[in-house]
Structure 1
Amino acid sequence: MSIQIYILSKLMQGDNYPYKLKKELSEPIPFDKMGNLTESKLYYHFDSLTKQGLVEPREIIKEENRPDKQVFAITDKGREQLPLKIYELFEKANKVSDMVVGIVFIRHADKNRIITILEKKIADYYTKQTNLNNMYAQLSENQSLQGNAHYLQSYIHHSIEHEIVWLEKLVEKLQTNII
């Protein structure tokens, strides 16, 4: 889904072709390698978006001694679907790191709707934290599991706290239009 959001967002800026987008992802920071994005994956997603009616081929650029370049454009349906894909990405994300592409292209979505999604995630994390604390309290009553329970509680508590802090910072930055 992140790759499709990236493609649609780039096509919102103007017609483009897969190889150029791949090259943009690799310079100056090799995001393509960091995200294990190969050219074949990019072409696969262009094909998928075409089948969904979200992008369409515009022209083929022929150059001597070079492969043909198929240029794509976003469709009206693609413009409508882009924010929905961004909302879905935020809803399905388990961590802030899963939201990176959505954050980068957040300008294509309604920030208030994203804030609502994030606030629900924060509330869910607090609920999860309370439930885990209750569960670990029961586990630590068992002397043989006390050390295990403490370690797990500490690890999960810090992981959840970390996500809550960064989600709250993201909400604050969205509310103050820093992002």
Structure 2
Amino acid sequence: MSIQVFILSNLMKENSYPYKLKKQLSEPIPLDQLGGLTESKLYYHFETLAKKGLIEIVEIIKEEHRPDKQVFAITAKGREELPKLIYKLFENTDIVKDMIVGLIGLQYVDKKKVVDILENNVNEIKERWNQLSGMEGKVQVTEEDKELRNFVRGYITARTDHNVQWLEELINKIKQGVL
């Protein structure tokens, strides 16, 4: 889904074709490689969006000794769906790294609604963590398993605290209008 949000967000700015978007992702930092985005995956998502009526071919560029380039534009239906996809992206994850594509499209959504979603995510994380922490005394651990339990608890605590910290920072930056 995040690849489709990326494509639609870019087509909101200008008409484009798959190879051009792939090239934008690979220069100067190879974000495509870091995210495992291949050219075939990108073409697949363009085709999927076209079948859904969210984008359409508006031009075919013919070049000698090269394959034709199909230039796509976002449709009215695509403009309508993009905010829904962005909200869904924020709702389906509570990890900032998985939200980055959605953050790129913040200009196409109601930021207050995004803040509400993110605050809900933080509250759910804290609630889950409190429930797990409350179970600690109820679970019998052998002496030989204490070190493992302490290691795992430390790791999970640090990850949870770090994630909540970054989500709260993201919420504050959106509220302040910085993002």
TM-score band, normalised by the shorter chain? over 0.9
1:29 counterpart residue number: 29
Is the aligned partner of 1:64 residue 2:64?
yes
Tell which has more relative contact order, 1 or 2 (C-alpha 8 A, sep 6+). 2
1:5-154 correspondence to structure 2 within 5 Å: 5-139=5-139, 142-144=141-143, 145-154=145-154
> SS at 2:60's partner residue?
strand
CA distance in 2, matches of 1:90, 1:142: 37
Which runs of 5 or more structure 2 residues have no equivalent in the other structure?
Answer: none
Contact 1:9 1:82 in 2 (8 A): yes
**1:87-126 superposed Cα distances (whole Å, 9 cap, x missing partner):** 1111111311111111122111111011000000111111
Following TM superposition, by how much is the alpha carbon of 1:155 offset from its aligned partner in structure 2, in angstroms?
1.5
CA distance in 1, matches of 2:162, 2:141: 28
> SS at 2:36's partner residue?
coil
Which amino acid counterpart does residue 90 of structure 1 have in structure 2?
F
CA distance in 2, matches of 1:153, 1:94: 19
Which runs of 5 or more structure 1 residues have no equivalent in the other structure?
Answer: none
Q: What is the TM-score normalised by the length of structure 2? A: 0.95
For the aligned residue pairs, the C-alpha RMSD in angstroms reads 1.2
Q: Which moves more between the two structures, 109-118 or 128-137?
A: 128-137
Which amino acid counterpart does residue 114 of structure 1 have in structure 2?
V
Q: What is the TM-score normalised by the length of structure 1? A: 0.95
Number of aligned positions between the proteins: 178
Q: Which moves more between the two structures, 148-157 or 61-70?
A: 148-157
Contact 1:136 1:150 in 2 (8 A): no
> SS at 1:29's partner residue?
coil
> SS at 2:64's partner residue?
coil
CA distance in 2, matches of 1:131, 1:58: 53
CA distance in 2, matches of 1:142, 1:53: 56
CA distance in 2, matches of 1:162, 1:49: 35
Q: Among all aligned residue pairs of Structure 1 and Structure 2, give the percentage whose two residues are the same amino acid.
A: 48
CA distance in 1, matches of 2:116, 2:170: 12
Contact 1:132 1:153 in 2 (8 A): no
Which amino acid counterpart does residue 37 of structure 1 have in structure 2?
L
> SS at 2:59's partner residue?
strand
Following TM superposition, by how much is the alpha carbon of 1:137 offset from its aligned partner in structure 2, in angstroms?
2.4
CA distance in 2, matches of 1:15, 1:83: 18
> SS at 1:37's partner residue?
coil
Is the aligned partner of 1:178 residue 2:146?
no
